[in-house]
Structure 1
Amino acid sequence: MREFFKYVFATVVGVVISLALFLVFFVLLIIGIVKTSLKEQKVSVNSNSVLLLNLDQSITERTADDPLSRLPLVGSDEDKSIGFNDVIRALQKAKTDDNIKCVYINVTSPQAGFATMREIRDALIDFKTSKKKIIAYSEVYTQGAYYLASAADKIYLNPEGALEFKGLKSETMFFKGALDKLGIEAQIVRVGNYKSAVEPFFAEKMSDKNREQVTAYLHGLYDTFLEGIAKSRNISTETLYQIADDYKIRQPQDAVAYKMVDELKYKDQIIDELKTLSGKEKKNDLTTISINDYARNVVKDQPTSASQKVAIIYANGDIMGGDGSDHQIGSERISKAIRKARLDTDIKAVVLRVNSPGGSALASDVIWREIVLTKKIKPVIASFGDVAASGGYYIACAADSIFVQPNTITGSIGVFGIIPNFQKLFNDKLGITFDGVKTGKYADIMSVDRPMTAGERLIVQNDVNRVYDSFITRVADGRKRTKAYIDSIGGGRVWVGTDAVRIGLADRTGNFNDAIIAAAKKAKIKDYSIVEYPEMRDPFKSLMDNTTDKIRTYYAKQELGASYPIYQQIKSAVSRSGIQTRMPFEIKIQ
């Protein structure tokens, strides 16, 4: 029997070692393939080329160097992503590139926020000043897709396709009923009647204050949406509003009748038109280059000899302590990047690019401090993306000037904390009880196995009040306003970009490039190059990390189906710690 177990044990060990060696070999093989693939993927632009603008991929703040998505037979279109900044630079370059004859927009459901789409749309309109044509084609246009496509000279729709045009909707999911059934109480401490991030945990519907602010910002977004389309398509905003309100685009022919699209065409007809625009004979193949390849191989290869620099600091994602990631704002990593830009004498100005709903109040303050110190030495201009709210606004409020898009979501100057009470869940549902000994009255403050005492609630409320007072003080100092005024427009209220300028939370509406030009002008420099911070993560480490995340996400979606968004929200809420300065909701475009 002993020999048998020895044999079994040796077999198991052998299998484990073999699997480990196989895994190591597999990883090295993948890395080798990736390196070889990347070396061979140098793309040149042939004459008479069409720039293919695929906008259904994930449009981020910066292009992630994800080697996996560029592997042949592995990366798919849905795995691809591109930074909006690279899209803009590519379009700027294409304006004067004699090899690029026209742009073809292919878009059905863009993965981008309103302000990001506005940035790209502005770049498309600027491209048309070159007199080169832009055409857009899709089998289906969602509203976001149509907003982008409307910048084209010609918009085409498949004869059996669809154009969605129905107006915007905001909806909040409330968890109070589910928490009650589970025996969980969300103990809320906050400052600001508009700070509605906590409402889903203690209410069953929107409060009057929340409904007021959502109505205001949603109509602000809608106005910008309609105005852009109206100007490009030469249709009045009133007409567009009526088309959406009555849901008049029900058949493909309706889109033509109401001048929303120019013609109904099939893909082969689009290809023929692109051949004509690019100077190709119809018997020859169409020559195209994707926006991803063009940005990676043409735009980024442009040399610069300028010694003076403008640094762009990308602050993208939730704000938290530590290093964070390329999609999270880690206070340590971002602070280090700001210090590096401050201490570099070649860098004459800094642009802080913010796309964040907020997060940790403490981490926000750490980043704010670095902006204050940098502002004393060189100009700091803030550029807001889709969202720069709560902590996202906090970190930028000290900047010399703040640029927003008309449809940027910002403000949300408020603070909250959630302390869950699982007592009923533990006691009544699971039969678990707790007992212990403590040496101080508040030794177990923040315990989740019982409700807070009046004394504990007072302590937490005072702490939240202190953070809020610091918040409005920082904003008042940065915006050169009184604390009383900032408090009057604060209280957690969310504002759209145009309103933010009107009430003094921002200085002007303008795109990312406008902010860079303003920074250079304030620094009194004309010939300059751009440097970007923080440095992107190592692509091969990202490859392994992203692979794990994608596998985890895939199985979670398969298991949860339509409930996956709920899982994401709960997971996000559980992961937060400390007092939060966070926007009260997420915005998704459909």
Structure 2
Amino acid sequence: MKTFLKWLAGVITVFILLILFIIITLNIVFDTEPYIPDYAYVEINLQGHLPEYIPPDAFESALGQTRFDMAKFRDVLEKAAIDERIAGVVLKIGYLQVSLGEAQELTDLIKKFRDSGKKIVAFLGPGLTTTRDYYVASACESVFMTPQANLFLTGLYSEVTFYKDFFSKIGVEADFIHIGDYKNAPDPYTRSTMSPEQREETTQLLDAWYNDIRQTIAANRGFSSEKVDELINIKTGFTGWEAWREGLVDTVLYYPEVVKYFPSENGLPEPLSAEEYTTVPAGDLDIRKDSKIAVVHCLGTITGGSNSEDYLMGQLAGAASFADNMEKAAESSAIKAIILRIDSPGGSASASEVMWNAVKKAVEKKPVIVSISGMCASGGYYIAAPAITIISQKNSIVGSIGIFGGKFSIGALYKKLGMNTEKITRGKNAAIFSLSQVWSESEKKVIRHILEEFYSDFKIKVAEGRGIPFDSVEALAGGRIFTGGTALHNKLVDRHGNFYDAVDEAKRLAGIEEKESVELIYYPASKSLLGEILSGIQAKNASENILLDSYERLEQTLLFWQNQPLALLPFRLEYLP
């Protein structure tokens, strides 16, 4: 049997290597420079989810495929602004799923492109578009819409679902301890209604965001703020023709007609997809050829190990991957500065500590500048604290200095399912990790002590990293979250700005000339082709395990996340603009 397994493993390995060889060979033989028309406009689809950064995929690259993200959006606009072959850009916007901090980043990038003197226009439709879509579109020179498309300016709506009573019916009990009155992440599982603290913070966030929406749209479209209030609160829904009559769009037309709005001295420009244009080397345009600045990402929920995707938690920022990337960037003699790009609600406290240490060591060797995307909360802010400069958007979520820990007891669920658990212990707190019962008073004392120790350390690190008195940090802690606007007032960030403002700050601190076009080295880098193939095999096996071993998988997930300190955003905020 062992001989057969060895033989099978050898056959599979040879097969994988053969596929690898064929793909690489075909890629080399047929790899050519992308065709760029002499006169073109770039089409960018801003629809659905726009990831902050997708590491280059060797397998997809070999097949000539490209997935779009915020980094590529910046890349396309930067190159298109100086490329004489490009007449302008068309943004096809529809049901864009980004945070308001990321939406503000998009509007900044659009305005930066407009400084080039080239046209950038937005096309809404033919389906449903919402407040968030229009917020971004309003930054463009012109906004177009099909006659019977639908635009809904609904404002902002937040809802939180509470599971305590449901859990009680199925035999699950949430047992959590949180340090700080505003650290309410466990509330959906331990309460039936919203706490006063959660209601207060949600109200403050929505007020700040709504004011920015009305002011931004008013400024971009030449309305008064009162006019925007009327459009949102009285009109709300518009067809293309109604949007045109209200001045929300400049012209009602169908997409093929958009090309007529570009300069036509040399004929009409040809369409060019952003995915194709992103493959144009920056060196062909004589930019990004000199000094190098690293961009290290912390995206998603913080955990130990490597960066990954989890079917329950979504994107995971692995502490081991992050520390390795920071070390590589810090040790490289070619890298002059590091931009730490964060979009994270926090996560595991111990993993956050590992990442904090990596940032602290990097700061000792070269400038580290934090650029906040959508959020930098709890463990995300913990790792940002040692940086020399922290830059955020006004709409970013910042703070949440606090911690919680807990577990779900599923003993009653087992009984409902006809399962029985019997225990024999040695040691007063031996059952502290048990899934079949809540904590005893002595076990709670152990957990609270660990949480309070981390919370104290968290506040000290913020005070030292930000250079502000401990008493001031105390007043900002307790799990409180802030918009970037309030965070600036509270000295949790140094200034407002977008990614390119972080690049400018990195150049200044590294002694690079202001006008120099620097090369950005992104981390994490791509996997090897073989690594991608093996990852695919592992993902397939994982999906099969989810189906075959659901109870075992549930236990593993609960055991992994519970009983340990978690520095996470105090509550999950879902809003529907």
Q: TM-score, normalised by structure 1?
A: 0.85
Q: Which moved more, 1:444-453 or 1:501-510?
A: 444-453
Query: Which whole-Å CA distance do the structure 2 matches of 1:430 and 1:287 have between them?
Result: 67
2:437 is matched by which residue type in structure 1? R
Query: Which whole-Å CA distance do the structure 1 matches of 2:234 and 2:248 have between them?
Result: 15
Deviations 1:414-461 (A, max 9, x none): 1011222223223354241313242x2223322221221111111101
2:181 is matched by which residue type in structure 1? N
Query: Which whole-Å CA distance do the structure 2 matches of 1:118 and 1:221 have between them?
Result: 10
CA contact (8 A) 2:101 2:395 kept: yes
Query: Number of residues paired by the alignment?
Result: 556
Q: Does 1:491 align with 2:482?
A: no
Deviations 1:106-126 (A, max 9, x none): 121224332223222212112
C-alpha distance 250-488 of structure 1, shift in aligned 2 (>3 A): same
Aligned to 1:151: 139
The within-5 A match list for 1:22-33 is 29=19, 32=22
Q: Given the alignment, which residue of 302, 307, 315 partners 1:324? A: 307
Deviations 1:332-370 (A, max 9, x none): 221122222222333332211111111111111111122
Aligned to 1:264: 252
What is the deviation of 1:57? 5.8
Q: Given the alignment, which residue of 375, 380, 402 partners 1:392? A: 380
CA contact (8 A) 1:166 1:247 kept: no
Query: Which whole-Å CA distance do the structure 2 matches of 1:545 and 1:179 have between them?
Result: 35
Aligned to 2:164: 176
Query: Which whole-Å CA distance do the structure 2 matches of 1:144 and 1:68 have between them?
Result: 34
CA contact (8 A) 1:136 1:152 kept: yes
Aligned to 1:99: 85
Q: Give unpaired runs (5+ residues) of structure 1.
A: 1-8, 558-567
What is the deviation of 1:539? 5.0
What is the deviation of 1:498? 0.6
Q: Secondary structure at the match of 2:380?
A: helix
CA contact (8 A) 1:34 1:67 kept: no
CA contact (8 A) 1:57 1:81 kept: no
CA contact (8 A) 2:94 2:133 kept: yes
Q: Secondary structure at the match of 2:272?
A: strand
What fraction of aligned residue pairs are identical, expressed as a percent? 27
Deviations 1:168-221 (A, max 9, x none): 111112111221011111111110111111001111121110010011112222
Aligned to 1:110: 96
What is the deviation of 1:268? 3.4
What is the deviation of 1:385? 0.6
Q: Given the alignment, which residue of 499, 505, 514 partners 2:492? A: 505
Query: Which whole-Å CA distance do the structure 2 matches of 1:571 and 1:506 have between them?
Result: 38
Q: Given the alignment, which residue of 290, 296, 310 partners 2:279? A: 296
Q: Does 1:339 align with 2:327?
A: yes
What is the deviation of 1:300? 6.8
What is the deviation of 1:29? 4.8
CA contact (8 A) 1:44 1:297 kept: no
2:169 is matched by which residue type in structure 1? K
1:117 is matched by which residue type in structure 2? A
Q: Does 1:62 align with 2:53?
A: yes
Query: Which whole-Å CA distance do the structure 1 matches of 2:103 and 2:433 have between them?
Result: 42
C-alpha distance 125-586 of structure 1, shift in aligned 2 (>3 A): same
Aligned to 1:360: 348
Query: Which whole-Å CA distance do the structure 2 matches of 1:107 and 1:363 have between them?
Result: 37
What is the deviation of 1:91? 0.9
The within-5 A match list for 1:179-194 is 179-194=167-182
CA contact (8 A) 1:394 1:471 kept: yes
Q: Secondary structure at the match of 2:227?
A: helix
Q: Which moved more, 1:107-116 or 1:316-325?
A: 107-116
1:415 is matched by which residue type in structure 2? I
Q: Secondary structure at the match of 2:89?
A: strand
C-alpha distance 278-198 of structure 1, shift in aligned 2 (>3 A): farther
Aligned to 2:458: 471
CA contact (8 A) 2:135 2:217 kept: yes
Deviations 1:202-249 (A, max 9, x none): 111211100100111122222223332222111122221221112443
Query: Which whole-Å CA distance do the structure 1 matches of 2:126 and 2:542 have between them?
Result: 32
Query: Which whole-Å CA distance do the structure 2 matches of 1:580 and 1:507 have between them?
Result: 26
What is the deviation of 1:21? 6.7
What is the deviation of 1:462? 0.9
CA contact (8 A) 1:51 1:290 kept: yes
The within-5 A match list for 1:135-284 is 135-137=121-123, 138-140=125-127, 141-271=129-259, 273-274=260-261, 277=263, 279=265, 281=267
Q: Which moved more, 1:193-202 or 1:241-250?
A: 241-250
Q: Given the alignment, which residue of 261, 270, 275 partners 1:287? A: 270
The within-5 A match list for 1:452-463 is 452-463=439-450
Q: Which moved more, 1:110-119 or 1:448-457?
A: 110-119
Q: Secondary structure at the match of 2:429?
A: coil
Aligned to 1:134: 120
The within-5 A match list for 1:63-78 is 63-66=54-57
C-alpha distance 377-301 of structure 1, shift in aligned 2 (>3 A): same
Q: Given the alignment, which residue of 372, 378, 381 partners 2:366? A: 378
What is the deviation of 1:139? 1.4
Q: Secondary structure at the match of 1:246?
A: helix
Aligned to 1:563: none
Q: Does 1:451 align with 2:442?
A: no
Q: Give unpaired runs (5+ residues) of structure 2.
A: 310-314, 548-552
1:374 is matched by which residue type in structure 2? A
Q: Secondary structure at the match of 2:424?
A: coil
Q: Given the alignment, which residue of 35, 53, 61 partners 2:44? A: 53
C-alpha distance 378-456 of structure 1, shift in aligned 2 (>3 A): same
What is the deviation of 1:464? 0.7
Query: Which whole-Å CA distance do the structure 1 matches of 2:429 and 2:290 have between them?
Result: 58
Aligned to 1:119: 105
Aligned to 2:312: none
What is the deviation of 1:296? 2.0
Q: Secondary structure at the match of 1:213?
A: helix
C-alpha distance 305-258 of structure 1, shift in aligned 2 (>3 A): closer
Deviations 1:524-581 (A, max 9, x none): 2225533222323335533664687599889999xxxxxxxxxx99997775252100
What is the deviation of 1:487? 2.0
What is the deviation of 1:517? 0.9
CA contact (8 A) 2:130 2:154 kept: no
Deviations 1:484-521 (A, max 9, x none): 22121111112111111111111110111101111211
CA contact (8 A) 2:88 2:120 kept: yes
Q: Secondary structure at the match of 2:372?
A: strand
What is the deviation of 1:375? 2.0
Q: TM-score, normalised by structure 2?
A: 0.87
CA contact (8 A) 2:146 2:254 kept: yes
Q: Does 1:86 align with 2:72?
A: yes
Query: Which whole-Å CA distance do the structure 2 matches of 1:384 and 1:569 have between them?
Result: 33
Query: Which whole-Å CA distance do the structure 2 matches of 1:416 and 1:110 have between them?
Result: 32
Query: Which whole-Å CA distance do the structure 2 matches of 1:555 and 1:147 have between them?
Result: 43
CA contact (8 A) 2:20 2:530 kept: no
CA contact (8 A) 1:101 1:278 kept: no
C-alpha distance 21-51 of structure 1, shift in aligned 2 (>3 A): same
Q: Secondary structure at the match of 2:121?
A: strand
Query: Which whole-Å CA distance do the structure 1 matches of 2:348 and 2:477 have between them?
Result: 18
CA contact (8 A) 1:48 1:279 kept: no
1:315 is matched by which residue type in structure 2? C
Deviations 1:385-413 (A, max 9, x none): 11111101100011111100011111111
Aligned to 2:298: 315
Q: Secondary structure at the match of 2:147?
A: strand
C-alpha distance 318-248 of structure 1, shift in aligned 2 (>3 A): closer
Query: Which whole-Å CA distance do the structure 1 matches of 2:333 and 2:8 have between them?
Result: 54
1:468 is matched by which residue type in structure 2? Y
CA contact (8 A) 2:159 2:574 kept: no
